Structure 1
């Protein structure tokens, strides 16, 4: 039955609204968690029925008979429509959700700067932003979220305290200090606005603005002590990955250091509790897992710093002197007053992260000693990550960590000037990759096996080139041992590239007419490497020489076939395609010559 205000006193009206609102909150916040699987929304539908009743009551209520002001009545109407819209969103009735939220916004906007309204209005516009994000309408979502942000900031400029709906209804709050609680209701809603804006700007490909909003969200969570340590650390470490990809190593290191610092704090809290029940042990296991995840972000930081330093040293000398690893000097047009246009403000003022910042630098590497420090730091993080991601339990992650370790050796080798020591580093890569392949079943991990075969082909080629350079520089006649070593390196490189190419072919051993886009480049490179390395094999016997040249010709022809069948591949690999076309024209002459010599 719909209760009207005709036969009720002011006190009874408010008490009835209070009682029904409490029922709604219990149904949504508590009872809904225990709904049966076959009726997952039964509690929320019950709540919606009560909310509709409350809406009808509020539609007929007058200020004089309720003892409430017009603003308070509008706030209650807005709260009811916000709750209806939230239920509709959770039950995926997006049309009903939009209608309810727009009605709430229309009711609340005229009193936007009133203390009773501001918390509700911010939440309504946040939900409208979320709704349009679900509908892939990022620009429309942004409009609502920026309006929510402005309304909140305008209200705070009035220096008045917000009044939540519970206070209007006289619902007691468990907190000791209701003023702080009321203030935090608004601040939490505002933090959510900034978080949603970070997601929306990410969708709109405005990556820097998205990253800044992410940072501000994290900073506010720390400031108001409104965060879960592990989730906060993961989000902070994830944000560091954006900065490292922009060569903002200063910002990336800072956020990684912050993530590790918060995890350390949380670990200290867990250790201080002298219990060993299942819940506590589960927390410890989760912490170990997330420590490993943050370690992987540190690993990426180290590898990216070595990689960027290598690219910088190989680039034009003029760009080397101007290169910076700090994004603070970037010009940023801060029309929304996120960080006052100053990227130097992307810090957490009350968090000391020096313990981790001191462990590794953030500047480009110039010497082997510089690279070795980063390499050793990387190995330390790899050990931490491997301690959790073991081969027998989490194979995919373990494989990726071994690949990371191999890459770290590769970049360290770039900075090493001594050929013998460089070759030993490559040999270390060979050992770890081949040991890994012995443990990995291609049936279940074909993608990873492909990557490992290809990388081994590359590494053996690198060692081969070092040995050949040394042989060419030497004036002495090569020993049989050296010649055997060179041929072995050729064979090993070719063998691994062949395994990679065989994995791409169909069941009949035939290369597809058109390759998948992610396989085109490595397949063409593999063919080209085999073609070159086949010609590098040293053979006195004419039959062996002919076999090597024919193998080389087949591989160069393989590249030509791929590019003829796929114009996109030909365009992507122009240089390799041109070179292989030339070799396909030249090598038949050499093959004929060797065949004639054999006949003679």
Structure 2
């Protein structure tokens, strides 16, 4: 009686090869009205092979090996059904594959197949938005890899080796072993990548960052990466490190991204137009990540300096403050032994990196000093240092605008303009000359107004609101600066200064009112309750209006009284709204306290003005 292996040699291998060709090549040319034609044909062939193999199942001597072939067929059928959007059937075949291999999963012939099935089950459940179940399969795959590496060894068979005639000879053994080991490591790298993705989808950013970092390191070490994708992923990882004030780590990721992207860009001339377009977008995205780094560093530096001033007032020593900053900036670091490259790990531990015990940051195996030296990773303390970071931001954003043009990428273009405005805002903090600060804010006004002019509120309402609000804040900042200049000069108001201050105040008032009008949705009055996302901005806008009306300078008593009345109404609005909605008082603590105080004080002040006592 023929064995199943003889069947495979005679017919099975050829049929399987034809089915794979249908799936991987012919399916690309299927018509739009029958997109899965080739995959359906491949499925039929898989089924024929499966039925034939089951006919040999009583051959006891071959049952263990036959089970593996049946499990591999179930794997391919599971992928086939999943690709044709028949998810339940796909899951059934993948689970069948696991069950068939369960008792053999630590065998060299099986472990990589088993791990591959687990990875695909995780993808399936992630697609169903069941991230807990997706993570369960990934953690099984992670544990499987660690235990096999510790207890068994290396070079397990790959899923692709099944259903292929054995054409190897003794001289190929070393090459086959090396290829198997590489495939096994790559499968594990995919497991880590999927874990990072699931953590990201469940908002576990710290865990996602750890696994993402290890994935990138493994791809780099094994030279199994697509340069442009690796670069963009490294740049994206930097954005996590920014959120936890780890600028040294963030800068290293960005520098590595730039270096690796140069590798991809060097081959750009040989690519088609679509690929060049994708490359241009990735280049722009990396530029934007650099810009975000600079903006975050400027903002963090500002906060640090303000904290220094506050601590000085409260008598906190600089050593204590610096210790706090140091603790905060080193709460997450990775060591080389914890990057997933060690073969001697406890299989009971499902976490690759122990965040609490890490000592050093694992730099990628790249020489990136040239890129890192272009910008500091330390807090800046004066205008000269801040300007260096600002120039990096400006250059990177201008480069990004080459791809993200207003026609075709309007939303991204607007975000770039908003980032440019923020760069000037952060730089202005470090400028001691108030007149030069005003000029920086004027640059912000010009670019924001130009952008706003070209937007249709019907399609970009939320963006228009953001820009209008920022314009209002910028004009208000300029009012405060002009008042500060006048006070510093030690002289009374002159007509030119008064006109400038009043004009800026009126412009700020107009922008705040425009923002508030947009919240009425075309109705004459405000809604009884603002949307959750609008309530604080709306009340702060009303509070700022109260302040701005009081800053307009006028010798005319009736006009001054009218302005004070408007100011009182604004403060009253804030107080009344908070009284009606006490649940939001906690979000308006400072503004509400001042509003309640001004509601009482302003009528008294107005009465004194009327009676000539003020």
Query: TM-score, with normalisation over the residues of structure 1?
Result: 0.89
Larger RCO (CA under 8 A, 6+ residues apart): 2
For residues 542 and 198 of structure 2, the distance between their equivalents in structure 1, rounded to whole angstroms, comes to: 44
Corresponding residue SS for 1:404: helix
For residues 224 and 391 of structure 1, the distance between their equivalents in structure 2, rounded to whole angstroms, comes to: 40
State yes or no: 1:295 paired with 2:287: yes
State yes or no: 1:525 paired with 2:518: no
**Which one of the candidate residues 542, 547, 572 is aligned to 1:557?**
572
**Corresponding position of 1:463:** 478
Alpha-carbon spacing, 1:70–1:220, altered in 2? closer, same or farther (3 Å): farther
Corresponding residue SS for 1:344: coil
CA-to-partner distance for each residue in 1:491-539, whole Å, 9 max, x for gaps? 1111111111111123133211111122112211111111111011111
Shift of 1:52: 2.8
**Corresponding position of 1:225:** 223
Alpha-carbon spacing, 1:69–1:346, altered in 2? closer, same or farther (3 Å): farther
For residues 49 and 122 of structure 2, the distance between their equivalents in structure 1, rounded to whole angstroms, comes to: 26
Corresponding residue SS for 2:415: helix
Corresponding residue SS for 2:153: coil
**Corresponding position of 2:65:** 72
**Which one of the candidate residues 20, 24, 30 is aligned to 2:19?**
24
Shift of 1:234: 1.6
**Which one of the candidate residues 220, 227, 232 is aligned to 1:234?**
232
State yes or no: 1:119 paired with 2:121: no
Contact 2:235 / 2:286 at 8 angstroms: preserved in 1?
yes
State yes or no: 1:439 paired with 2:450: no
For residues 82 and 49 of structure 1, the distance between their equivalents in structure 2, rounded to whole angstroms, comes to: 15
Shift of 1:12: 3.1
**RMSD in angstroms over aligned alpha carbons?**
2.9
For residues 147 and 418 of structure 1, the distance between their equivalents in structure 2, rounded to whole angstroms, comes to: 61
**Which one of the candidate residues 268, 277, 284 is aligned to 2:276?**
284
Corresponding residue SS for 2:363: coil
For residues 179 and 49 of structure 2, the distance between their equivalents in structure 1, rounded to whole angstroms, comes to: 26
Corresponding residue SS for 1:338: coil
For residues 173 and 234 of structure 1, the distance between their equivalents in structure 2, rounded to whole angstroms, comes to: 40
Matches within 5 A, 1:119-518: 119-157=112-150, 158-171=152-165, 177-271=175-269, 273=270, 280-315=272-307, 316=311, 318-324=320-326, 326-327=329-330, 335-336=349-350, 338-339=352-353, 342=358, 344-349=360-365, 351-518=366-533
Contact 1:116 / 1:165 at 8 angstroms: preserved in 2?
no
Alpha-carbon spacing, 1:471–1:343, altered in 2? closer, same or farther (3 Å): same
Which stretch of the first structure deviates more once superposed, 54-63 or 411-420? 54-63
CA-to-partner distance for each residue in 1:71-102, whole Å, 9 max, x for gaps? 43222111011112222322333333333222
For residues 44 and 269 of structure 1, the distance between their equivalents in structure 2, rounded to whole angstroms, comes to: 34
Alpha-carbon spacing, 1:264–1:313, altered in 2? closer, same or farther (3 Å): same
Shift of 1:217: 1.5
Contact 2:244 / 2:329 at 8 angstroms: preserved in 1?
no
CA-to-partner distance for each residue in 1:555-592, whole Å, 9 max, x for gaps? 22332343244333333213212322332333344556
Alpha-carbon spacing, 1:357–1:234, altered in 2? closer, same or farther (3 Å): same
Which stretch of the first structure deviates more once superposed, 211-220 or 134-143? 134-143
Corresponding residue SS for 2:377: coil
Shift of 1:369: 2.0
Shift of 1:298: 0.6
For residues 403 and 12 of structure 1, the distance between their equivalents in structure 2, rounded to whole angstroms, comes to: 67
Shift of 1:362: 1.0
Query: TM-score, with normalisation over the residues of structure 2?
Result: 0.87
Contact 1:28 / 1:43 at 8 angstroms: preserved in 2?
yes
Shift of 1:140: 3.0
Contact 2:333 / 2:361 at 8 angstroms: preserved in 1?
no
Shift of 1:16: 2.4
For residues 328 and 291 of structure 1, the distance between their equivalents in structure 2, rounded to whole angstroms, comes to: 31
CA-to-partner distance for each residue in 1:38-78, whole Å, 9 max, x for gaps? 3333333333333233333333325869xx85443222111
Shift of 1:14: 3.8
For residues 53 and 377 of structure 2, the distance between their equivalents in structure 1, rounded to whole angstroms, comes to: 60
**Corresponding position of 2:7:** 12
Unaligned runs of 5+ in 1: 1-5, 274-278
Unaligned runs of 5+ in 2: 312-317, 339-348
Which stretch of the first structure deviates more once superposed, 485-494 or 24-33? 24-33
For residues 267 and 83 of structure 1, the distance between their equivalents in structure 2, rounded to whole angstroms, comes to: 36
Alpha-carbon spacing, 1:538–1:450, altered in 2? closer, same or farther (3 Å): same
**Corresponding position of 1:570:** 585
Contact 2:333 / 2:360 at 8 angstroms: preserved in 1?
no
Contact 2:143 / 2:350 at 8 angstroms: preserved in 1?
no
Contact 1:292 / 1:385 at 8 angstroms: preserved in 2?
yes
